[in-house]
Amino acid sequence: MLQQLEKADTVRRMVAPRTAQKHKVALGQFMTPSSVARFMASMFPASSVQTCRLLDAGAGVGALSCAFLDRWVTGGFGFKAVEATAYEIDDTLRDHLARHLAGYQGVTPRIISDDFIEQVTANDLFAVKSPTGYTHAILNPPYKKINSKSAHRLALRRVGIETVNLYSAFVALAVAVAAPGGQVVAIIPRSFCNGPYYRPFRNFILERAAIRQMHLFESRSKAFKDDDVLQENIIIRLERGGEQGPVTISTSTDDSFSDLTTNEHPFDRIVFPDDLERFIHVPTTTEKSTIELSPAVRYSLADIGVTVSTGPVVDFRLKAHLRDMPEPGAVPLIYPGHLSMTGTVWPVQGLKKSNAIMCNDETKKWLYPNGFYCVVRRFSSKEEKRRVVASIVDPAAFGDHSVLGFENHMNLFHENKHGLPEALARGLVVFLNTTAVDEHFRRFNGHTQVNATDLKLMKYPSRDTLIQLGEWAMKQRTFTQDQIDAKLGTLTE
């Protein structure tokens, strides 16, 4: 006899290809394959509760609920009964969902067609602080941005949740309505782990729950391959009101879980104690990186007297002031396309980006004095060999221009919004372009963005050592990756 999960998965494979992409995008709807659902159900710990109160918000055809309930009926949990609450606004999917949940004895299903966010924020569900909340929640929430003035955003704000995507809203609400000790398992994009837009969400979760386990798919395209989703996904297990301890991190290439690896990490390797942004890191090995082991790499940017900032020129906001090529009254505008590790080329014909920006009362507050800077690209694709790519800005490339514009797609290292001594700037470029730095960054930051906060939280060699690195680089006509990696290994301070 087929378990209900296999029935649900058969329906998913039938329904998904027939559902218009426009409909999926409108609802943020990507249904869970059975292998992922089964793995998620396996992440729940043993439980002593007699009646399980299960929440599945955005339930689709019921794959996640079925995986959970299949584990129960085969002896995986000791519950006497299950009350299963499943939210689904799609009429077509809800009919399938009802049939699948009805296939279980001892389960009291409650299928709700209302909008999960609207219903939970509008009634007293959100205020639940007693053991009448959900004991378990299993979620593959919708993935869709929330407009800043939408009804969803306003409803969430009323109950103290500030977030930018439906998936994080669903997880925040699931944590909020869980009973003390309630377990929440969700598969969500990894984007919540970093970046300023998700900081309120991270704070909300970390103040109310302990992170117990995270699973990372190393391939971005495999977990939801049937829906052609190219998104780095993570499965997270949270415990409502739990005391934070070590975190179990597992990884697999894809949803077959055939190469599953599991390690345990102290929480201070997941959220760094001095990180005000509370970025959530997912280390994929217990071994310390070369950077962590180096006795010379132990200084903060503040220690070496350097600041890192995101490039201040947001081009679409200053569109009227941009110029394709230099002209009287315009100053250089630097994009990543102008830069290399060894120098700066400006202007660049046919760049498809502006080469200059007018210097006037509206723009000058965004401009920096001409000088030496170390800059790091903010964006890369996951498939690129390097995530951290540093370049030198050489003032000689800009002739007599006294100020420069740095476009928003880069981070720049500076001293109080002025350039750096040349040797220090070049030393930073050498250090940041070492293989060890790139590997360290990838280990803790799986996202394709390199944010200024990421760079600020890193450790660096001392200012004197960076200057020595820069002086070494200035004596070389060219240098290879092997040479700069070997040079890092000679640092002993």
Q: What is the per-residue pLDDT for 290?
A: 82
Q: Is 290 exposed, middle or buried (0-12, 13-18, 19+ CB in 10 A)?
A: middle
The amino acid sitting at 60 is G
Q: What's the CA gap between 23 and 240, in Å, rounded?
A: 33
Q: What's the CA gap between 203 and 51, in Å, rounded?
A: 31
Query: In whole angstroms, how far apart are CA 277 and each of 206, 268, 453?
Result: 12, 14, 8
Q: What's the CA gap between 455 and 301, in Å, rounded?
A: 9
In 134-177, DSSP assigns E strands to 134-139
Q: What is the per-residue pLDDT for 9?
A: 58
Domains and CATH numbers, the chain: 4-269 (3.40.50.150), 293-489 (3.90.220.10)
Q: What's the CA gap between 298 and 432, in Å, rounded?
A: 14
In 320-384, DSSP assigns E strands to 322-323, 330-334, 356-358, 367-369, 373-377
Q: Is 477 exposed, middle or buried (0-12, 13-18, 19+ CB in 10 A)?
A: exposed
Conformational region of residue 56, where left means phi above 0, alpha means psi within -120 to 50, and beta covers everything else: beta
Which sign does the torsion angle of CA 459, 465, 470, 475 carry?
negative
Q: What is the per-residue pLDDT for 194?
A: 79
Q: What's the CA gap between 132 and 242, in Å, rounded?
A: 17
Q: What's the CA gap between 441 and 274, in Å, rounded?
A: 17
CB 461 within 8 A of CB 417: no
Tens digit of pLDDT at every position of the chain (493 positions): 346 656 555 655 555 545 544 544 444 446 678 889 999 999 999 988 999 999 999 898 888 998 999 999 988 898 999 999 999 998 888 888 888 888 888 899 999 999 999 999 886 555 544 446 999 999 999 988 898 889 999 999 988 899 999 999 999 999 999 999 999 999 998 889 877 789 999 999 999 999 999 999 876 454 444 444 445 789 999 999 999 999 999 998 888 889 999 999 999 989 988 788 898 988 877 777 788 888 889 999 999 999 999 999 999 999 999 999 999 999 999 998 898 766 788 999 888 899 999 999 999 999 999 999 999 998 765 556 788 999 999 999 999 999 999 999 999 999 999 999 999 999 999 999 999 998 888 776 656 678 888 898 889 999 999 999 999 999 987 888 999 989 888 887 6
CB 53 within 8 A of CB 81: no
Provide the token pair at 90. 């799609």
Round to the nearest angstrom and report the end-to-end CA distance of the chain.
Answer: 67
CB 117 within 8 A of CB 128: no
Q: What's the CA gap between 476 and 478, in Å, rounded?
A: 5
CB 431 within 8 A of CB 291: no
From the list 337, 379, 373, 377, the residue with the least C-alpha distance to 354 is 337
**3-class DSSP state of 387:** coil
Q: What is the per-residue pLDDT for 156?
A: 92
CB 130 within 8 A of CB 165: no
Q: What's the CA gap between 402 and 211, in Å, rounded?
A: 50
From the list 100, 57, 108, the residue with the least C-alpha distance to 80 is 108
- Please give the order of strands across the beta sheet that includes 367-369: 322-323, 356-358, 330-334, 403-406, 367-369
